[in-house]
Structure 1
Amino acid sequence: MAKRKATITSDDDTPESSQASKRARTADSDEEVVEVHATPQKRERKPTINGKQKAKVHSDEEEEEEEDLHHDDERNEEDEKKFEDDHGEAIRRKLEQRRNTIGGIAEHGIIESVEMKQFMCHPHLTFTFGPQINFIIGHNGSGKSAVLSAITIALGGKANTTGRGNGLKSFVREGQHKAEVTIALKNQGEEAYKPKEYGKSIVIRRNFTRDGSSSWKIMSKDGTLISTKRDELAAICDHMNIQVDNPMNVLTQDAARQFLSASHPSDKYKFFLRGTQLSQLSEEYDTCLDNINQTKKVLHQKKQVIPDLRAAFKEATARFQEASKAREQRHKAGELKKELAWAHVAAKQEEMEAKFDDLAKAQRRLPRIEAEVETAESQFRLASEEVERYEKEHAELGNIDHLNDQRNELQEKIRVNKNQLNDFRNDEKAMNSSLTALNRSIKDYDAQIAEETRRLEAHTQAKRDEINRRLEAAKEAVTVADSRNKEVIEKKRNKVNEQAEIKGKGQAAENQKNQLQERITECQTMITRCKEQEKNSLATYGHDIKGILQSISKMHWHGETPIGPLGMYVKLKDRNWAPLLRAQLGSLMTSFACTDARDRQHLKRLFDQSKNFHVNVIISERDLFDYSGGEPRGDVLTVLRALDAEYNQYRQAYDSLTKEINALTALERTAYETLRTAKTAHAQLQEEANEEMPAGISGLQNAKDEAEAEKASIMKQFTNLAKRKNTINEQQSGLLTEQNGIKQQIQNFEQLRGTITAKVVDAVSDRLEAQKNHQFYQNKLKVEQKGVAEIEGIANTLQEEFTTWTERAEEFCPRVENPRKVVEVQRLLTSVEAALEERERRHGATVEEMTIEVNKAKADLDNVERDLRSLAALNNALKRSLLLRLDRWHEFRRHIALRCKLVFQCHLSERGYYGKVLFDHVNQTLQLKVQTDDQTLTQGRDKDPRSLSGGEKSFSTICLLLSLWDSIGCPIRCLDEFDVFMDAVNRRISMRMMIDTANASDKKQYVLITPQDMGNVQVGNTVRVHRMNDPERGQGTLAFS
């Protein structure tokens, strides 16, 4: 029989892991296998395996062993008859007993469910199988055969064994890129496979695509991924004895037709060998025989090397004996080497003693350096104490914060008094102006009284009435103006006091701020900012204002384009108002303005992106501001009149913020001028009235008197003002004197602190010098100590080397007293060794090399002889083992064949037929002889299967298949379209027979596919029928009946 050949397949057809570990389980139970006992057979002719003689490797020494290796397969009729008589009856009893019993349900190795996604014609199809018998029925084209293909693909079978395609990509549903097949195997009982990892079910999922890639996922029942390796799948199938590539286990549609229609006996015999896996065992035994023969060749070649090795050993021995004459001279060299060893020891002892002398000198220098270190350390300690003493004095001085606070408080009081004195001077100027106006008015009243006296007679009564009316109106205006003037004076006095108080607090806070924030970094920041402002006028308003303006000009706005910062469009007409307007409007100068509220968020986003978080956005229309609240007269200076604004809308914004200060200055003066004007008008009217009636003179006199009274009042106010001014001047003088005293105290403190600081600096300098000296001597001490340690280390090393050399020299040879110098001994040794080398040069090798050569030749000869003996013994053991296995193989084949014959006859009897199976193991043929119920018409002769009808032939073949299944140990049997050629009668009997056989089988699962209906077949609880829908190519999970 030809040996198996190694093949390389594509990814679609990658073979499963080696099946060498699998062996056919040729019986349904161990009890039946025990009944077959191997009996030694006579070896009369040259042995064959499966009827084919193996080629022999002839050698004169191994001919007799070759005769023992081969076995004769030709069995005579007597031997076959005797074997059938010995074992046939026992097998019949077993079959009869099993017929009346129902087999048990397998606990592991059977299929629980199959799921297909995008596989062949099924987008999604699921089967849940029963534990014993499963029929899959349906019309042609419904996709029944896809189930067997899915089982084969999921369990790692080759794609071409399904008869449905040459690669995995042919199983992907049309129009799809990938497919998935999932199969669940039962995993229970004592023989479960890794039950702790997988549980009661093993789920095997295989994914593959059209481009040929494929992968496995082997999971537990709960979906936990255990492995993705193909070796794990092979181990599972091997453990459960699942043989998915065995044509007898999974008989596809094409294989079933081929088996049913096969007419040649050799084809049936091949099915028989492959199904029972006897062919696999035969091929492996052939391989073993080839290896044994190859080992014989190697042994024969090694035997031919032994004479050469023996000759080499003799030659090496002769050369060694000739070279041994130089041993005497070598003895002399050995004595010189001993003396040389002790000469080296003596030299090392001298070196060691010299180094210990150096160590003693270095150790004597250490005390002097340590004394210098202590002196430097004492000086450093004294210097440190002096520094601490001066620092303590400096700390005890304390600080002058309270003096600075007093000085700042006095400065604030002095500044407030200066402001009050300035206000007093302004009030004096105002009073002087008022006195001048009153004096002028009194003079005018005197002139008018004289003039009225002259013109008294010239006026009429009607004019006097008109003058009286106007006089009353003027009086009323004077009253209103006087009231307003008093109100303004009172407000001014309150504002001045409030201003003084706020200025005092602000100045105190400013002084404190200047003391706390006077840092170099802030100054540098201000300098940098000023430089930037000199280069960029926009830098004052924020960061990257120029870029923001460019972005504003490019963007689209709901209203008019926003404008800002507002400080760019405002100019101050009079610089005298700059401090006041900066305090009131300074924060507004960096703001921007827009006319539409929707543009506000866009502006704020620009400012946030450039980190200008302080910029405000004002929403205002471009109209003139609202004057509904009233506007001062044109001669009154307001904020809007003090500024020159480019856009009206920003004038409105300024107005809204400055309504509280719509008159900047001279409000009192304006009110006073209004009062004076009203009084003058009143006086004129009085004069006119006096022209008409005598009482006018009296009115002028009253006006004069009022002016005189007002003058007296102003003089009284002036006197009080002078008193207050003198009081403030006296206070100011005292404050200045107190300020000078505090300044002198601060100056004295600074001088004292400077003196102590200078002492601290000098003491620190002295301590630093002492510290340097101390560090210098410490470093010097460390260097010296390091040198001592190095010398000590070298001396200890030399001492250790001396001890080691002495010990080695003592181990090498006894002590040699008073050895010569190393140089002298080395010269003599070199001379002797040169003579030895000359002798060795003549012989081609040294004595040591010759010794090694002799030992090596001896070892090579011994190793080869030992290897030959061990290999020969191993090869003989392998031969004996192979002979035993061949005997057992023949016994298996004969037993399986006999069992097949008897089971076949049993199944034929179900139909009333009689027949037998004829095995010719020499010619490798299997023939069926069937005698049907019309045997009387054929004179009782056995029919050849070719002469049977289609139904009879299919029935007979089914009987043969069932008999072969009875000899296979796999727990799964699959058969597709087994009844394609049967009539109704044969089909009914075959179905019943298959159901009965399946029920009697122990722990086996059957999956049978038929396109016929199951209506006329009685099924029991052990049978589950799966009905396929009509071919629509779109079904999902099947509905089971």
Structure 2
Amino acid sequence: MRKESHQLLVTGSSSSSQHPKRRDCLAPDNHDIEQDDDDDAQSVQSDANEEGEGPSQYELMRDMGFEHLQYEEGDDMIATQRLEQRALRSAAMADDISGENRRAMNGIIERVTCVNFMCHSRLECELGPLLNFIVGENGSGKSAILTAITLCLGAKASTTNRGGSLKNFIKQGEERGFLAVWIKNCGDDAYEHDVYGDSIIVERHFSKSGTSSFKLKSGTQRLISTKRADVDDIVEYFYLQVDNPLNVLSQDNARQFLNSSSPALKYKFFVQGVQLEQLDKDYELIKQFLDAHTERIPQLEARVAQLTEIHEEADRVQKVIEGNKEMRAKKREYMNQLAWSQVAEQELVLQNYDRSVSEALRNIADAEQLRDAATQKLEIEDENLRRAKENLAALRSEEDGYKEAVDKATEDYNAASAELRSLHADERDIHSRLKGFADRVRELEGKIRDERQRLEDTSGDSRRETQARLDAAKARLQEVNQDISREIERRPSLDEQAAAARAETERIGQEVERKMGDVKSREARIRSLQQSRGSSSPYDAYDNRMPQLLALIDRDVRFSRKPIGPLGTKIRVTKPVWAPILEKTFGASLNGFIVTTHADQQHLSALIKRLGMSNVPVLIANTRSINTEGKEPDSQFDTILRILEFDDPLIRDQLIINSFIEQTIIIENRKHAEQIMFNGPAPQNVNACLALHDKKRGEGLRLATRGGNNVSTTPVVPNLTQKPRMKTDVSSQIDVQKEILAQNQHELDALRTELDCVRREEQHRGKEINTHMRRLDVLRKTARSMGATIREIEEELDVFDGADGRLNIFEQELAVAKEKREQFGGQYGDVNIRKTLQNAKVEETKRLLDAAKTTKLDFAARLDKANRTKEKREDLRSLALVAKNDAFDNLTEQQEIKAMVDRQRDEQASVVEEFTNHAAAVCPRRVDIPEGETHASIEKKMESLVAQLEKRRKNLGMTDEEANNRLVDAKAALEKMKTVCEVSKKHIEAIEVALCERLSKWRLFQRRISANSRTNFIYLLSERGYRGKLLLDHKRKKLRVQVEPDETRRKVSGRDTRTLSGGEKSFSSICLLLAIWEAMGSPLRCLDEFDVFMDNVNRDVSTNMLVDAARRSVGRQYIFITPNAIQGNARHAPDVRIIRLTDPRQRTLDEM
């Protein structure tokens, strides 16, 4: 229960930080203790304060009307059951004196050293890993050990109630003090073990001047750090909680809690000890932070509105400036027109030559494009041929492996068969020997009957009666032995049936798991389709950077022709049932783009690489359409091409080249598809066939022939998590997927029913074996009993006629013959079992041999396919090489034509060169002159523009650059403020959700920790026969204890602790402390002078209770301080270390 509570605490606070910082849990002051005698008055005053002030909004949100505390009875019942289970486990481990306890590998204190601390010049204490009792007289340094641990691990001096500052702890007459604590640091979860080693040494130095410092050292005394924050991190990592008033109970706190604390103070100790108060403060701080930031939202929105007005004003001014820019550009244009108007006529002549040159350039560009496409095609075919050759070589390198696998499987099969034949021979030999001894038994039994008849004739009625009893006993023994033999012979059959039932159960169980996976995948597919139907973007099925890539393509003007893609968005499937299978068939091609030049391919590939996208192929297409006339199958067949619609014919051509869509037919029925593809030669112009799987709805099959009887059937399994990339009727796809899902669920239900049946059969076979074993035990016991009876009767017969020697010899021989018969009968049964197992081994090796042969045949088919692919790639490369040579010839011809046109243009250019140089001096860049414009009209327009620009500049009062900077700054400020506002709203919403969740866990933690404490308190009281209750009033923040020490007063609810004797009160308080400790998660628990007011009886019981509770807390270290000696078994237990301290003054005398 303590572990669960601690886990809930960690879960509730872990989202703030990895190691949440704790505030100091201050012990209550003396004023609170003085009010103990007036509990009622204090309670009334507290209630009055609560009613007067009223709960805060956070408290209402946290408590939720205390509805979670209405299930106290049920919570206590659950806590009681857990406590009983733990008691049972402890009882089971009663032989181990340490119970469930085990030493922790880290987080425990190994040693404490004090120098010039309090009244001690030097005080050292070695602590055990589990239970430590520090005993000694007053002034010997017992409490100083706890104080040193508290201060050295970072707590404030005021938390010890022994001084206000560290300088008060320095020994009188000394200037400096020093504390050191060794913390164990082993195990897998050690703290930075590579830095600190097996121990972490924490040192705290302080002086009379008020200075204080920390040092962190490794186990080898190497200095690691001097930062207090590092000390806090280590304390937080090991969850030591030295500032928790219930974790380290000093003398004052122990007296307050154990003897004189009020209900309110007990409740305060409780919520501090189990961290409820700290969590409450943390969450209240979050609520205050949330309220403060919520109040800022209106201010942020007002600031956004203000910045919007400033931006609108700056934008208005900028638009005016933009108008001025247009006028200035017009002015520059007029100036350029004036400069070039004198050369306009000569340029008109030159333009005709330019058009001729441009046409020649276009022809050359087209020729270069054809050359690049042919070159790329040849490179692709070279690469395809290389890959085909590598694939063929790789397959051929695997050929020996497949042959060796078949040879190995054949060898295993032959060896298993030989072993089986050997077992058959052994079975025949043993059966022959068994039959021989059975015949010998029958022969001797006949001789014994004859001998007994002879003796009977000579011995009279008494001998006959005894002999009759002997015969009856032996006959009964023979029947029992026969029953034993039948049961032994029956065992192999039972084992085979049970093994078969187990195998069937395992097989159907695996089918159920696979079918459940199909159902989950199908449901995911339906959700994906529904999301794609509700999505407004056609690119949801692609990389999330696809819209960014498309935007770059739209803005880029360097493409000779805009790339087409992604291809999936440009294809529509007219028959939705085939959409998932075609998505799998086309694969990554649907993510790709199509361009028409090699330069465009390189440029687009660079954009894709810049965005970090992958699996986006870029294909180069020829603008000439592919003619499929005479190359498609008969019109009676649907092909992939015939059920697709394309937004661009280039997409169709690429899929024809890469996927043979014009020669791949589609047939829904698998049997019909197999008849068409495999019964005789495949139809004309049919490369492959796609069919729907007849047993796995939603999946497909690809059927292909490779010549002759070499056929293949390859499964096509769609990716159910892939959203549709091609356009189709999504509703129809959803309906199809729902039908498939319904069928899968129906099949799953049938498999579950079948699994229940085979499990019942398996249980039945198991019961049969158990019944067989019980019957065999009974028969063997009966046989032993009958053997004893026979020996007794034979002893009686020995009296008659001196126990005839001939009869004895026969009986001895009979006993030997029966022993041999039983021996060979057992061997016969063993051989039967071995033969059954060997049969199974032979079947398994035969199955492996068949599988190896099948794999080898598949490999041969793949090898043949790779060889034919290589030959096909060689032919395609030859065609590509011819096309490349033609393209280079065409390019040379176009370049010669361009050279002739260039010469003619240069002749005309020399005519206008003089005019052009003059105009270039005014305007280097050539401009066009509008039709109908003259030099004078242009000059008049320019003068008008100059006057307008001067007037606007005077009206604005700022330059263009100042106006532009003002607009940029206003826009940046507005965007930043909008972002701040939106982020603040999102953060507030997220914090509200997190706070509600944490408060819900806080209430659950409060509920569970209360139940655990109540139950543990009752359980601990029962150790002395006491009865009582722990009354936790979370509304009024009171913790009351009712105890009834008198076991005979069953009907009395209990007395207030103030009416108890000192020992009873101390014992009850110890029970309360242990109940709360059970709920705490710290690995260190310390208690100072817990038995100061106890008599010897209560002290012994309390000590034993503390020891038992400590042993139940696995991995926890306990330090108990008492001035009294430890009695009983605890002092000799291996997990208990008793540390006896002496008065430092006595130590000085001893040294003298």
Bigger radius of gyration: 1
Q: TM-score, normalised by structure 1?
A: 0.45
Q: TM-score, normalised by structure 2?
A: 0.41
